[in-house]
Each structure stands twice: as C-alpha cells, then as structure tokens.
Amino acid sequence: MTLILDGKEPAKKIIDELTLEVEHLKAKNILPTFCVIEVGEDPASKIYLRLKRKLAKKIGINEQTIKFPGDIRQDELIDKIKELNADPHVDAIMVQLPIPEHINTRLVLEAIDPAKDADGFTPYNQGRMWQGQVNIIPATVRSIMTILDYYQLNVEGKNALIIGRSIIVGKPVASQLLARNATVTIAHSHTRKLQELTLLNDIIISDVGRAHLITKNMVKPGSILIDVGMNRENGKLMGDIEYDDCLPIAEAITPVPGGVGPLTVANLMKQVIILTKLRHNYGN
C-alpha cells in the first residue's frame, strides 16, 4: 500500500513546538521579529504573504510587512535592506519573490545580512549549506527533508533525481540529499530523454511547475515521489506528477495540495526562530 506523505501532520507538530519556543523567548524578553519586503502586486505572492502573517501571529512572532510599489528603484530597495540589517530589533529578513524585472534579484539577495537571511538564499548561506554547515536552508528544502524524516524514509544509497535547478529548491535539496549519502542527478529544461532518467531513480523530486510532467510510464515501481510543483488546470490545483495514476506504483507520494505546501510556511517560521536564537545566543 502506497504511503501518502501528508504534510499537515508534521506542520502541526512544528507549529506547536515553535509556539512553545516563542513563549520561552518572550519570557527572556526576546521578541522574534521578522521583516518581509513586498515589491509590487504579484497575486500569488499576496496569498503566500497572508499565510505567513497569519501563522506568525498564531505562533507569536512579530511579523512586519514593508510594502514598496513595483517601480521602486533598485538602490532604494537595497538601502532599505541595509537599514534592516543594522536594526538590532530585527531578527530575520526576507524579500518576497518574484520582484519586478528592472531589479536585479541576485544583488537584492546579496544585500541581506546572512545572519538575518530567513529564506537561506544569500550566497554565504548557500555556500555553507554545500559545506554541510547548516543552520539555514530554503524553507521548501527543509520541508522536503522534514517529510523524509517524519515518515522515516531513508535515502542512503538510493538514486535521487531532482527536476529543477533553482537556488530555492533544486540545487539546495541536492546538497541535503548528498549529505545523506544519496546519489543525486539534477535534470532541467535542457535535459534530453527525461523518462530514461526517471526510470533509473528511486526518488523523484519535481519542482518545475508543469502539470502532467511525470506520468505513470515514467515512474519506477516502489519509488518515492515528492511533488513541489504548483499548477492550476480548470480551476484545480495540481503538481507536476500525475498523482492518481502514479499512486499505485509508488512506495510513497506527496499529494498536491497537502504535501510539501503546508510545511513550507511552518518551516519559514522555524528559520525565523533559529535566527532569533542565534542572534541572542539563546539555547545554542
């Protein structure tokens, strides 16, 4: 019987643990403060930001959203980040992506102090991640690893295929699987004969954002399928993997919605607390 990798249960566990941690921090007069920078009017970002605000409030984190118009100059945005870097009351910072095309995303992310980098996107934190010195990793990647741990899925010695090579999921999750002794292959938009690769691998992690990308004839029996894709088709939310068709073939599979998604915001809040504790030398 296929194991359904539901993200709601482990997300609740994380939220309960964080709520207690925040109570302990506040008892020591430490108020975790998280600044989110929003640029422009991206509709998907607004949904995600609402979820962040709601969960931060529930846990007890002081979340502050700083909103800028879509035509803000790059230097103005970077100046604001530098101001937040220097603010002793701010523990964690993130810039909600995507940002308008006239702004260089790389330069904006590089401006964030690595000690306040809630997303784990700064070059410094990404480099430490590849060296195995992990405090902060991208929240979606932490969520994938949370699912593997919660459901006791051992990746050691297994072949893992990651489809997608972003700094948000693809590259960082490769580092985490390598650290657990998996053999990792990364596929992307220029990969040829994807099906030949998928059939060779015990684990498939897809983060492409293309519905029906992985069909049942591309899945090796007994494989672990983790779907990070988000697509809408005829009003229905779905991932990259054809869930219903692949379900009987897999050893384990994440649903969309309800798999990695519920964990991502919870793990972002976890990273805020990790940064807060490191900055205040609390419990470390």
DSSP 169-192: THHHHHHHHHHTT-EEEEE-TT-S
Q: Domain containing 40: what range?
A: 31-118
Same domain (yes/no): 89, 174: no
**Residue 226 is assigned to a structural domain of this protein:** yes
Neighbours of 165 (CB within 10 A): 16
Residue for token pair 């810039």 = 95
**Residue 254 is assigned to a structural domain of this protein:** yes
pTM of the model: 0.95
Residue for token pair 């593997």 = 148
What is the pLDDT at residue 45? Answer: 83
143 a known binding residue? Answer: no
**Residue 57 is assigned to a structural domain of this protein:** yes
Closest-CA residue to 116 (of 25, 21, 37): 37
**Residue 129 is assigned to a structural domain of this protein:** no
- The C-alpha atoms of residue 191 and residue 193 are separated, in whole angstroms, by 7
Same domain (yes/no): 110, 144: no
Give, in order, the Cα–Cα distances in Å from 200 to each of 160, 175, 196, 222: 9, 20, 7, 12
Neighbours of 221 (CB within 10 A): 9
What is the pLDDT at residue 57? Answer: 97
**Residue 247 is assigned to a structural domain of this protein:** yes
- The C-alpha atoms of residue 239 and residue 190 are separated, in whole angstroms, by 20
What is the pLDDT at residue 32? Answer: 98
Q: Which of 119, 207, 227, 240 is catalytic?
A: 119
232 a known binding residue? Answer: no
Q: Which amino acid is at 210?
A: R
Tokens of 135: 């405090």
What is the pLDDT at residue 157? Answer: 98
Closest-CA residue to 33 (of 253, 241, 272): 272
Same domain (yes/no): 144, 228: yes
CATH number, domain with residue 40:
3.40.50.10860
- Is 245 an annotated catalytic residue? no
Going from the first residue of the chain to its last (284 residues), give the mean pLDDT of each consecutive group of 10, the final group possibly shorter.
96 98 97 97 84 95 96 97 98 96 96 97 95 90 98 98 96 97 96 96 96 96 96 90 97 96 96 96 72
- Is 96 an annotated catalytic residue? yes
Residue for token pair 């990695």 = 260
Q: Which of 80, 91, 96, 277 is catalytic?
A: 96
70 a known binding residue? Answer: no
**Residue 89 is assigned to a structural domain of this protein:** yes
Same domain (yes/no): 162, 245: yes
**Residue 127 is assigned to a structural domain of this protein:** no
Same domain (yes/no): 144, 230: yes
Neighbours of 106 (CB within 10 A): 11
What is the pLDDT at residue 284? Answer: 53
Same domain (yes/no): 146, 206: yes
Burial of 89 (0-12, 13-18, 19+ CB in 10 A): exposed
Q: At what angle do helices 261-279 and 8-27 cross, to 10 degrees?
A: 20
Same domain (yes/no): 192, 231: yes
CATH number, domain with residue 194:
3.40.50.720
Same domain (yes/no): 88, 153: no
- The C-alpha atoms of residue 103 and residue 183 are separated, in whole angstroms, by 37
228 SS3 class: coil
- Is 195 an annotated catalytic residue? no
Tokens of 24: 């302990």
Same domain (yes/no): 163, 217: yes
Cβ contact 107:135 at 8 Å? no
**Residue 177 is assigned to a structural domain of this protein:** yes
Domain count, the chain: 2
Which residues lie across from 185 on neighbouring strands? 161
What is the pLDDT at residue 283? Answer: 67
What is the pLDDT at residue 2? Answer: 95
